[in-house]
């Protein structure tokens, strides 16, 4: 097979094209949000929300609703509960996250075992990237588009909140509202990513791209385009490997994200970036770029 044939062959199948489109959309939106989440230190919130939606995924089909609707309701509930526990008790945020997400996730597992729900726990936990239906695709694209519009509209406030929430509050910038909007957006992205990579791996989609970009630059403006670029490359590489190696697509894509982080770490610590930082640090002010 020629090199061109090798590159083109996977995209001759409808299921591969669907997987590419849906995963690219979700990973790009999640990567944009991850730039702020990593800087603020809210990485665990992505994990919490992704696990907390499980009861909604189980309940929604039982009452005749799309699973995405139930997942979104419980994602928003988890965000609200975490913030309420953190703000109204002496419990710190990490403990509040652990209590809420583990309780809701366990509740979802109990519901799966106690009901006649048709939910495939394997697909929910690990994704069903190659089995996305038209309805699923519409739901995911709608949530991702809504999240993207919020991110674009609120990007300046998100950046202000991430860097100096105290100053934002002193000037009447309403940091609590900004925080709430960011968390709602996180819930939407987590639910959108659920279909592609599942509950277990959603956190990777909203954390690893931002963490990787943060290794390469300290500027939030650069992170906001670098993280989606990294996520897109990892998605494409992961899908190629999954197709030719016949491996689980969600896990393979996330593994590609992880390998990208390793490369950025090595490149930043031992490669050109480290050399540039050392040179800049040892240069006189007149010599520094």
Q: Model's pTM, two decimal places?
A: 0.78
Domain extents in the chain: 3-282
C-alpha span between 162 and 35 (Å, rounded) = 10
Class of domain 3-282: mainly alpha
Q: Residue 202 half-sphere exposure, CB side, CA atoms within 13 Å?
A: 31
C-alpha span between 199 and 216 (Å, rounded) = 28
C-alpha span between 208 and 197 (Å, rounded) = 14
C-alpha span between 180 and 283 (Å, rounded) = 43
Is the Cβ–Cβ distance between 70 and 207 less than 8 Å? no
Q: CA dist 7 to 1, 147, 202, 204, Å?
A: 10, 31, 27, 26
pLDDT tens-digit series, residues 217-259: 878 888 888 999 999 999 999 899 988 888 888 888 889 999 9
Q: CA dist 261 to 49, 210, 240, Å?
A: 23, 10, 19
C-alpha span between 80 and 261 (Å, rounded) = 31
pLDDT 10s digit of each residue in the chain, 289 long? 677 778 888 888 888 888 888 888 888 888 888 888 887 877 777 777 777 888 888 888 788 777 778 888 888 888 888 888 878 888 877 788 888 888 888 888 888 777 765 555 566 666 667 777 777 788 788 888 888 999 989 888 888 888 777 777 777 778 888 888 888 888 888 887 776 677 667 777 888 888 898 888 878 888 888 999 999 999 999 899 988 888 888 888 889 999 999 998 888 765 555 544 454 444 444 433 3
Is the Cβ–Cβ distance between 284 and 275 less than 8 Å? no
Rounded-to-10 torsion of CA 129, 131, 134, 136: -60
Which helix (H) or strand (E) segment is 78 a member of?
Answer: helix 67-88
């Amino acid at each position: 097979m020629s090199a061109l044939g090798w590159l083109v062959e996977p995209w001759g199948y409808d299921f591969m094209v669907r997987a590419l489109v849906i995963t690219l959309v979700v990973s790009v939106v999640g990567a944009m949000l991850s730039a702020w989440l990593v800087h603020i230190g809210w990485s665990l919130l992505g994990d919490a929300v992704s696990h907390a939606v499980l009861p909604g995924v189980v309940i929604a089909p039982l009452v005749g609703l799309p699973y995405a609707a139930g997942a979104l309701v419980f994602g928003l509930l988890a965000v609200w509960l975490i913030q309420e526990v953190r703000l109204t008790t002496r419990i710190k945020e990490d403990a509040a996250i652990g209590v809420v997400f583990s309780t809701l996730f366990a509740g979802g597992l109990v519901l799966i075992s106690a009901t006649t729900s048709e939910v495939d726990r394997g697909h929910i936990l690990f994704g069903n990237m190659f089995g996305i239906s038209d309805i699923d695709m519409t739901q995911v694209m709608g949530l991702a588009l809504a999240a993207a519009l919020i991110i674009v509209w609120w990007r300046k406030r998100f950046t202000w909140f991430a860097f100096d929430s105290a100053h934002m509050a002193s000037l009447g910038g309403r940091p609590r509202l900004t925080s709430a909007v960011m968390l709602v957006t996180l819930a939407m992205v987590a639910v959108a990513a659920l279909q592609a990579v599942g509950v277990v791996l959603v956190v990777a989609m909203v954390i690893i791209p931002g963490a990787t970009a943060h290794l390469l630059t300290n500027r939030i403006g650069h992170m906001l385009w670098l993280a989606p670029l990294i996520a897109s490359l990892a998605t494409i590489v992961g899908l190629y490997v999954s197709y030719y190696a016949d491996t689980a697509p969600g896990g393979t894509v996330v593994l590609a994200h992880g390998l990208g982080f390793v490369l950025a770490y090595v490149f930043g610590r031992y490669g050109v970036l480290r050399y540039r930082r050392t040179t800049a640090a040892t240069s006189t002010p007149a010599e520094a770029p």
